[in-house]
Amino acid sequence: MLVNGVWQSKWDPVQKKDEQGRFIRQSSAFRHTISPDRIAAVTSGDIETLGVKLYVAYICPWATRTLIARSLLGLEKYIPVSIVDPQLSDSGWRFHGYPGSTPAKQESITYIHQLYTEADPDYTGRATVPVLWDTEGHRIINNESADIIRIFNHDLRPVHNSEVDLAPELLLQEIDSFNERIYDSLNNGVYRAGFASTQAAYNEAYSDVFTTLEWLEKHFDNHRYAVGDQLTESDIRLFVTLARFDVAYYGLFKTNKAQIGDYANLSAYMGRLLTLPAFSKNTNIDHIKTGYYSIKALNPMGIVPEGPELDWFGYLK
């Protein structure tokens, strides 16, 4: 992480913890949106590009939220993407030639932390992805995936004019409460289990994860989507965790009461979403496995398991 703009070489994936050994995720520091003037200029045809770029990692569920939203909303031609290597190096996320990542020679930076210090020379905090970067102003517009999805869906609507609305006004309250219900218990719950530093903190997280998965399995008895009867951002937020569950969390984070493959409704839901290219093409199993299993604190030998083989891998080819 960075302290007053200086990279600390002792990188600790455990982030912060409380006095009971519970994992605490850092809150995001940059919470702006894309300039309305630029959006208007692109919409009116005065300029061609938004002057923004999205930095992501395929391993990262939060970053993948933004990739899926970008694809669903038809923003691929407006927002270029740079994909870092799946392994966190001693200097954090970097471009280092891993297959499927953006070649280093195409990038003006090597490490993601360079964006943070360029944006704020005194930045203190973790250099996380996703980063929505202003290529004109050389600043971080936003580094919070929840915001970035809403910027894409709402603020960029005049640019994409998509038929897809990931957060329709009428469903907003339900979307927010669904998101809240799954965030701490499941999206972040798996991390709370994986990075717990006491047995009690792990047990608490494990129980939250499976209480929520069991609730979701019932929910999908009579629902096709997370909220309402259309695809929303809640589906994206749920999908990115489910897609990593059996291949990474079940083993590495010890959330091993059951796999998603053991839940009939959740498996069918995954199959339904994966028929959409926005979900399948942004799910890179090799990056996910290689990335998670490279976390030395949890897997000192760095051995990446071969399995499991999952039914839905067929959608990824």
Residues that bind ligand GSH (CB under 6 A): 1, 15, 28, 60, 62, 92, 126, 128-130, 144-145
Task: Give least dist CB 149 to ligand GSH, A.
Answer: 10
Active-site residue, from 58, 60, 206, 292: 60
Question: Residue 132 and residue 34: Cα distance in Å, rounded?
Answer: 9
Task: Give least dist CB 314 to ligand GSH, A.
Answer: 26
Task: Give least dist CB 92 to ligand GSH, A.
Answer: 6
> Considering beta carbons, is residue 123 or 220 the nearer one to ligand GSH?
123
Task: Give least dist CB 171 to ligand GSH, A.
Answer: 21
> Considering beta carbons, is residue 144 or 217 the nearer one to ligand GSH?
144
In terms of DSSP bridges, do strands 52-56 and 16-17 run parallel, antiparallel, or are they unpaired?
Answer: unpaired
> Considering beta carbons, is residue 86 or 263 the nearer one to ligand GSH?
86
What are the φ/ψ torsions at residue 196 (nearest 5 degrees)? -65, 145
Establish whether 225 is a catalytic residue: no
> Considering beta carbons, is residue 62 or 250 the nearer one to ligand GSH?
62
Question: To 5 degrees, how large is the angle CA 137–CA 142–CA 147?
Answer: 145
Active-site residue, from 55, 58, 111, 191: 191
Establish whether 116 is a catalytic residue: no
Q: Which residues are catalytic?
A: 60, 191
